[in-house]
Amino acid sequence: MLETFVVVKKKFSLHPEVLKGLPFFASFSLERLQEIIESARVVSPKANQVILRQGEHLDVMYLILEGSVKVQGQDSDGVTYQFGEIGKGHFLGEFASLQNEASRATFTTIEDSDLLAFDRAIMLDIIRRADPEQVLNIFSVLEGQNNAASERGFREVLSRRLLASQMEVEKQRALTQMVAGVAHEINTPLGIIIAAVNIMARELASPVEVTAQRAAEIAESLELMRLNVERADRLMQDFKKISVSQLKDEKQLFDISEAIEETVGLVLASLKRSQVQVKFHNELASDTKNWMGYRGFLSQVLINLLMNVERYAYPKGMGGIVDVTIALEDEGHYRLSVKDQGMGISKENQAHIFDPFFTTGRSIGGTGLGLAIVHNLVTKDLGGEIKLQSEEGKGTEFVVIFPRVILE
């Protein structure tokens, strides 16, 4: 069987000494290696070509003579993870071929490579004709390579799941911080309502003539109660929208500018103690505001960006201004900007700002996951991109560009 993904080298000189230098064939004689070379074939896939896909059944195994191959796997949830890279002297597809099973990984060339291809029958003949020591060496090499790949894969899966769980904790932490701010903000209207109720109670406690002044005071108290009940209700309704959307993550049609304004209002409640002021700029025309998208993902992005400003942009207690702007980037994309005039980010740190667990604020409770969550939500869930513009001492701007129509 000749693979369709490769170009066979017509003139490829492979000397037995080359195979002799590889652990798998170290115990074979040069004469036997020459026979193996003559029965096998060299194939030369270009860079970024898939040699073998996970789940495929092939009766071929490959030995890497030159080049390197990326090994990937996919778990039961459809999440792709990296086993790592393998290079010269490593086999791929060996156990799937020998045991006539489906491949447990996908192998893709990283660069132009040369592979020695063995049909299953050839490999079985090599094993059959080998002496016990050679057979032991063959399976020892194969088992060692397989164990190394499995360990890399296990570490990758474990790392991904650990990161996913910690990211979920960080999302809940940001939401909890916002809850605390909202609860504190609601205390103000509730306090005013209680004061107004007490005034009315005193005025109505004794049945005396209702003068114009008393009527005005009662009316003023009622108006204060109405305004502050509306304020508390608005805070609770906005919080309900955001918290419920965070749990559902369902696509829905809504006014994107209104959703951003609601999120800003809620986050502002927790930013007040840091004296951070947020100014919202809506530059969308009325016919471009309706977005069929994910309210929860969008609000989480904005919450994390604003919390990041509170933690890093301005010296503690000094406060400052943050401008949040929603506009059209082009006909097919929105542009959400979060810009401060704070301390800025060094060029050295900018290269790692979206890396999980990278933080300059470990001493003040930073986990290094806030911006990693943002990057993940923007690129994977919103199908967009995030850009960073910053200069030390002159502030930072995060620009999120995402489609007006999110494909399924």
Residue bearing the bigger pLDDT, 248 or 276: 276
Instruction: Give the pLDDT confidence score for residue 117 in this predicted structure.
Output: 86
What the block records as the tokens of 17 is 């000494």
pLDDT tens profile 168-221 = 666 666 666 666 666 656 766 777 777 777 767 766 676 667 677 767 767 777
Stretch among 51-55, 128-132, 160-164, 324-328 having the lowest mean pLDDT = 160-164
Q: What is the mean pLDDT of residues 266-295?
A: 87
Instruction: Give the pLDDT confidence score for residue 238 in this predicted structure.
Output: 63
Is there a contact between 43 and 6 (Cβ–Cβ < 8 Å)? yes
Q: How far is 391 from 320, CA to CA, in rounded Å? A: 17
Q: Which of 89-93, 311-315, 319-323 has the highest mean pLDDT?
A: 319-323
As a 3-state breakdown, the chain gives helix, strand, coil percent values, each rounded to 5, of 50, 25, 25
Domain assignments of the chain as residue spans, ordered by start: 7-130, 172-403
pLDDT tier at 151, thresholds 50, 70, 90:
low
> Above 50 in pLDDT, residue 92?
yes
Q: What is the mean pLDDT of residues 65-75?
A: 85
Q: How far is 243 from 147, CA to CA, in rounded Å? A: 45
Q: How far is 64 from 207, CA to CA, in rounded Å? A: 99
pLDDT tier at 279, thresholds 50, 70, 90:
very high
Is there a contact between 218 and 205 (Cβ–Cβ < 8 Å)? no
Candidates 32, 25, 62; CA nearest to 141 is: 25
Query: What is the rounded average pLDDT for all residues in the chain?
Result: 78
Stretch among 39-43, 57-61, 180-184, 340-344 having the lowest mean pLDDT = 180-184
| Helical spans, DSSP H, in 206-320 | 212-248, 256-271, 295-308
Q: How far is 12 from 33, CA to CA, in rounded Å? A: 16
3-state secondary structure of 284: coil
The share of the chain scoring above pLDDT 90, in percent, equals 18
pLDDT tier at 1, thresholds 50, 70, 90:
very low
Residue bearing the bigger pLDDT, 44 or 123: 44
Instruction: Give the pLDDT confidence score for residue 247 in this predicted structure.
Output: 47
Instruction: Give the pLDDT confidence score for residue 62 in this predicted structure.
Output: 85
**Assigned CATH for 172-403:** 3.30.565.10
Stretch among 157-166, 253-262, 336-345 having the lowest mean pLDDT = 157-166
The correct answer on CATH 2.60.120.10 for the domain covering 7-130 is yes
> Above 80 in pLDDT, residue 86?
yes
Q: What is the mean pLDDT of residues 386-393?
A: 92
Q: How far is 226 from 215, CA to CA, in rounded Å? A: 16
Q: List, in sequence order, every beta strand (DSSP E) within 102-148.
A: 106-109, 114-119
pTM of the model: 0.52
Which residue has tokens 């791929």? 92
Neighbour order of strands in the sheet with 385-391: 276-282, 320-330, 333-340, 395-403, 385-391
Task: Tell me which amino acid residue 291 is.
Answer: W
